A and B are shown apart, each in its own frame.
Chain A
């Protein structure tokens, strides 16, 4: 730290005297003449930026006395450009610059936030986060792409949201558990979140160190908001149907107080019509925002509070087969690919089983002190309580209640009847026809089916009867049959009144409390140099537990792990325990065995993760005639520690199995762990990390209009708490490299756990009155990333957790955008992005069963079984595409603006290069080579008989005479398994017109007397109703049993075609949807 300070001081001493030119001005609304606060003002040639105050005024110091181009950018307004002449050694004051309202952008912002919220779903798939940083309208590229490309779930440079930094008034707001920012915290409060500073990836920021992705700082001081009232109403056919909003800003009050507030109510009753967007979803959200500011001559103090209690139903991704079946019905309802498996009828009314409750009450106090014209101090403290929970059906010793459970689908009745895309196939895997088909891929006629060549199948009439239930969307067969769930519970009350309910609706909570403080010091007293130094601290507690929403007529839920109970046979053979003794293993809380859980109490798991975070950072920004240079340093400390209120039977069982390991990982002797049974809680080891980061940015000014920019970053990033634990609901064992880190012997051990990131981008940017734009190339290399997956393992027949680490990947690509003014009324904007985001290494994984059972066993020399509880293996992902939105995108947008305040635009967007997310379980080395990375052998594999680890011919697989190995039918074994399973599916449609989406918006602003106005805007997304755009999807991790090579049909000797029994699940873009708003200002 001392060194950093010394460096800063030395660098500061290089400051030389330069000119003392100053520029002053004011930004106003073109129609009302009202000042625009929070507008960003940039001098194009000198690359200096500032923000306007509440009076719309700005001032820039220490300027070069040259002709300048002033670029103005404000949320909700079209960008403006003004040419000025800056006089030397004096203050130049320019006349007020007026900006035209950009109504389309305001409307888009709302639509966009809606998409972000909808995507915040952590229950399914490997990565479902699709949200992206808020836009920076200053940047031509971001301005068009952040809205237009949201339909295709484009992600800037393929980065996950955790690489984007989000701040509110300088306070860090990314979660310490997942690294993400929860946009639903501000759900619907579009005015409250309107003002923000956005910094492009890796560029120098003046509010924080920033990071690899975009950085955004939301500014919520009351004086930012335009004085007056604003009330609005919106109608849409999306997840919610209507919104009402009211915003009030006081402007300056007595004693220099300012107050601003917003209320936003968004709602939708259940969308009853099958096939429509938002089918089976209800939605209620009430957002509030209150901010008050007190200003003194040199000080500003703001108090901000907001929150948006929200309850919203969810929809789920399904397999292509389910879409094919339900579209038979939906297509007659003008709805495609909108089937939602999560709802069902109860007493004749819709009920969704998956309801998210979220509420993020937040309180912030921010303070700014101006020491003098050149030195300012910002400080902020805040408290944020994120309450997030999601409900789901849970069941005990009863059939799976999900209508789209694979055993309830027609494909289950015919072995091997799905393609890898989940479509029905009409021939068996040997190519023999099963009958003619209709156009929608459904088996129609079994005439030519001769019963050979496939495995189990049911007769055609039985198959047809089930298919008919699906194509007609029978209420009980294709949706949740709530009445059957009640029936099961009522029956159980009679036969087993003390027993566990068969079905319940449980609620999985992940609450986080955070207290944060930040401080920064900005100094511009030296010519050409701005010094910023800051510190951030944050303490978070993640609280994870389950409660019961509804017992569905049952009397109680017994708090055990049903899967552990089911697999008790395996446990019994694994250890020398009696059945009675083994009963404890299935307990979720040994201090409270067989607890009869009712509503409003915690069950299942109840653990907390305490996370501390502290960062210091400093930045120098030099501005010279031809060159700007900035460099920043940050040092971050973080820690995590899990504690649990419940003593999980599997945790204790696993710890006692291998006392040495218990000591190694838990830091406790096995007997101590056992004695923990009698403690009320248990706190695990504390893991702490220190991560350095460095940024360097150069801006070479060829001339006033043409710049070349280079940004670089190098940093390490500690693993997020969510990814660090092998099976955090059960115990607090961490992934190996954190263990290595905790017991570091050398420097490399010390950074064993952290992800290392090196990134750079190079931009050419041009700015002419008629045309402006940029072209950028970027490169990022990640080493040693980690992530956690959970899935149902068909081989072990249980839910497993799979912790991945050592993930390396490289993101290379380019972005370009250009905006051309075509005469007075039209602007044409084009943008394109191309990327190649790939894994550059295989990953390492630790897989363990949630219910504590052994996942494998081997027999030792003494003939005894050795149980393997944690399977360690490589995951073969090298060369795969990172699945994070389309990697080839292009848009053309034509905008129209008439001075009588008519607006319209139309955008054509093309999406390509989008890949399905892989399931690690399908790519385990052991599956293909028969030997895992840790040297253990796999009992039954898709052995790569033709290939060695480097995919070359493996001599060991040859017969004695040098010919290839044969299966039991004497047929040569093929290399197909790996090819089949390892190919990464493209989500892009074969038909080129399915890759295009057209959006349109249209608006009018009407001025009324007394500075009142009424604005009307209609935006229509996906005008041509392209329902064939797959936006994302994931492979089901589950692999069917008995599909291993050598067990297949003699003729073909491939793996059994049942390999596609658990096909991928997809999300499709919505068909045509609209958002209509009317806003009245007074």
Chain B
């Protein structure tokens, strides 16, 4: 530091100040914090350790046990005319007392990219088969303590198992009377909500240290996903970590079953702009962009408008349009999602999407130069911004 004061005087003072370094605290030892298998056995001996699917099969019902008056569920939870006997929203509470209800699974999400928010998805491999469950927890940046690859043991007592837009999740009952939202009257009612963080933390034990190499990925073709969009069957596939090869962005979005090219509009005002996730007008639903593998089947890659790279052009897109999107082909890895929040419509293949953790999940290469990987670091954001030079040109 440049200073007018002599540094020797400073050093003397600082050494005198060593006195101040009081309150040394012994660090918490690492091995005390991560549970061993023996400790898991000890912890779960007051109850039963369910697999993820067992938990759902055992406790989740179609209409949910939380409310006998089903009109208090979200208005669009059920429409017998279109989807007889199917409930898109449900809540089954788990007993808070009595036998312990335990599950374990490895975290397959990461919220650093901003595409997952207050949510974790865990997977468990049982007999070589992947099972997955969403966990709705009220904590931002939750991957900071439950990182990708971390195995968790959760005591589920006092929580609930339910479906939100047909996605099965561990949750607590929550009421929404958001009368100032768009289509508010259709969204009022009870639905799965986020578990208060303090309660989730108290119920959760970390088993071993995180290990990304132990994540299980199922490979699918788009056809395998798109063909199978039965509402009830989709519940077990939803949340699984999957990979699809040889895909490219078509530069399209889907609306009511029809596809259209994305626009070159301003992503802060145009919800169809040719970026990953333009504005939703503060409604907050994930934005989807169509991918194809050249077959007639299509699916989406979805991203939140709050994600870090939401306003970046789709690979190959630019201010002139989406012409060159198909020039980038490769692999996508992400969480398979089946999202259906309105019972007034019949499902179709566009209920499926892949939620990527961040852009590293997109491994795309130029078709004319296979060495050139799509790299978001060298990509430009959209050009909807003010520049003095541009102003002068106009």
Binding site for B on A (CB under 8 A): 282, 284, 286, 307, 309-311, 346-347, 349, 351-352, 355, 357, 359, 361, 383, 385, 387, 395-400, 407-408, 412-413, 451-459, 461-462, 465-466, 469, 474, 476-477, 481-484, 486-488, 490-492, 494-496, 502, 513, 515, 539, 541, 543, 550, 552-553, 566, 568-569, 572-580, 583, 606, 608, 610, 643, 645, 681, 857, 860, 862-867, 1042, 1047-1050, 1056
Among residues of A, the one whose C-beta sits closest to the C-beta of B32 is: A483
B20 touches A580 (CB 8 A): no
In-complex Cβ contact of A490 among B21, B112, B175, B209 (8 A): B209
A359 touches B385 (CB 8 A): no
A579 touches B376 (CB 8 A): yes
Interfacial chain B residues near A452, Cβ < 8 Å: 177
B199 touches A466 (CB 8 A): yes
Among residues of B, the one whose C-beta sits closest to the C-beta of A490 is: B30
A399 touches B376 (CB 8 A): no
B19 touches A286 (CB 8 A): yes
- Residue in A495, A515, A575 with the greatest tally of chain B CB atoms within 10 Å: A495
A357 touches B20 (CB 8 A): yes
Interface string of B188-220 (1 = CB under 8 A from A): 001001011111011000100111100000000
B20 touches A347 (CB 8 A): no
Answer whether residue B310 sits at the interface, using C-beta atoms and an 8 A cutoff: yes
B145 touches A502 (CB 8 A): yes
Known: A608-B1, A1056-B180. 6 other contacts (CB 8 A): A311-B22, A490-B209, A491-B210, A492-B147, A578-B381, A860-B391
A578 touches B378 (CB 8 A): yes
B198 touches A580 (CB 8 A): no
B196 touches A346 (CB 8 A): no
Interfacial chain A residues near B58, Cβ < 8 Å: none
Interfacial chain A residues near B16, Cβ < 8 Å: 307, 309, 359, 361
B311 touches A573 (CB 8 A): yes
A456 touches B268 (CB 8 A): no
Interface residues on B, range: 35 or more
A579 touches B379 (CB 8 A): yes
CB distance from B271 to the nearest CB of A (A): 15
Q: Is the interface of A mostly helix, strand, loop or mixed?
A: mixed
Which of B47-55, B134-142, B255-263 is near enough to bind chain A? B134-142
Complex Cα distance, B18 from A470, in Å, reads 38
CB distance from B392 to the nearest CB of A (A): 11
Interfacial chain B residues near A860, Cβ < 8 Å: 386, 391
Complex Cα distance, B33 from A552, in Å, reads 13
Complex Cα distance, B184 from A1056, in Å, reads 15
A865 touches B384 (CB 8 A): yes
B138 touches A407 (CB 8 A): yes
* Contacts known (A539-B4, A864-B385); A484 close to B23, Cβ less than 8 A: no
Interfacial chain B residues near A352, Cβ < 8 Å: 23
Among residues of A, the one whose C-beta sits closest to the C-beta of B158 is: A465
Complex Cα distance, B14 from A307, in Å, reads 13
Complex Cα distance, B96 from A888, in Å, reads 53
B266 touches A578 (CB 8 A): no
Interfacial chain B residues near A490, Cβ < 8 Å: 30, 33-34, 209
- Residue in A357, A465, A610, A866 with the greatest tally of chain B CB atoms within 10 Å: A465
B141 touches A459 (CB 8 A): no
Complex Cα distance, B23 from A361, in Å, reads 22
27 A-B residue pairs with Cβ-Cβ distance under 8 Å, sorted by A, are A309-B19, A347-B25, A359-B16, A359-B20, A361-B13, A387-B17, A398-B141, A399-B141, A399-B142, A408-B198, A458-B173, A459-B172, A461-B158, A462-B196, A466-B198, A490-B30, A491-B210, A492-B147, A494-B211, A513-B3, A541-B3, A552-B27, A566-B114, A573-B385, A578-B380, A579-B312, A865-B385
Answer whether residue B377 sits at the interface, using C-beta atoms and an 8 A cutoff: yes
Complex Cα distance, B138 from A413, in Å, reads 10
Interfacial chain B residues near A407, Cβ < 8 Å: 138-140, 197
Interfacial chain A residues near B174, Cβ < 8 Å: 456-459
A311 touches B20 (CB 8 A): yes
In-complex Cβ contact of B144 among A309, A395, A857 (8 A): A395
- Which positions 43-78 of chain B face chain A at CB distance < 8 Å? 66, 72
Interfacial chain B residues near A496, Cβ < 8 Å: 147
A495 touches B147 (CB 8 A): yes
A483 touches B33 (CB 8 A): yes
In-complex Cβ contact of A451 among B72, B140, B142 (8 A): B72
Interface string of B345-389 (1 = CB under 8 A from A): 000000000000000000000000000000011111111111100
B197 touches A408 (CB 8 A): yes
Complex Cα distance, B17 from A864, in Å, reads 55
CB distance from B77 to the nearest CB of A (A): 15
A458 touches B145 (CB 8 A): no
Interfacial chain B residues near A865, Cβ < 8 Å: 266, 268, 384-386
CB distance from A354 to the nearest CB of B (A): 11
Interfacial chain B residues near A569, Cβ < 8 Å: 114, 306-311
Complex Cα distance, B336 from A405, in Å, reads 33
A453 touches B201 (CB 8 A): no
Interfacial chain B residues near A457, Cβ < 8 Å: 174-175, 177
CB distance from B1 to the nearest CB of A (A): 6
B386 touches A867 (CB 8 A): yes
A451 touches B175 (CB 8 A): yes
Among residues of B, the one whose C-beta sits closest to the C-beta of A1056 is: B180
Complex Cα distance, B273 from A143, in Å, reads 73
B10 touches A491 (CB 8 A): no
B25 touches A462 (CB 8 A): no
In-complex Cβ contact of A491 among B196, B206, B266, B312 (8 A): B206
Answer whether residue B183 sits at the interface, using C-beta atoms and an 8 A cutoff: no
- Which positions 324-355 of chain B face chain A at CB distance < 8 Å? none
In-complex Cβ contact of B387 among A397, A576, A610, A681 (8 A): A576
Interfacial chain B residues near A383, Cβ < 8 Å: 9
A-B pairs, 7 with minimum CB distance: A398-B144, A572-B381, A459-B173, A477-B198, A580-B377, A1047-B180, A462-B172
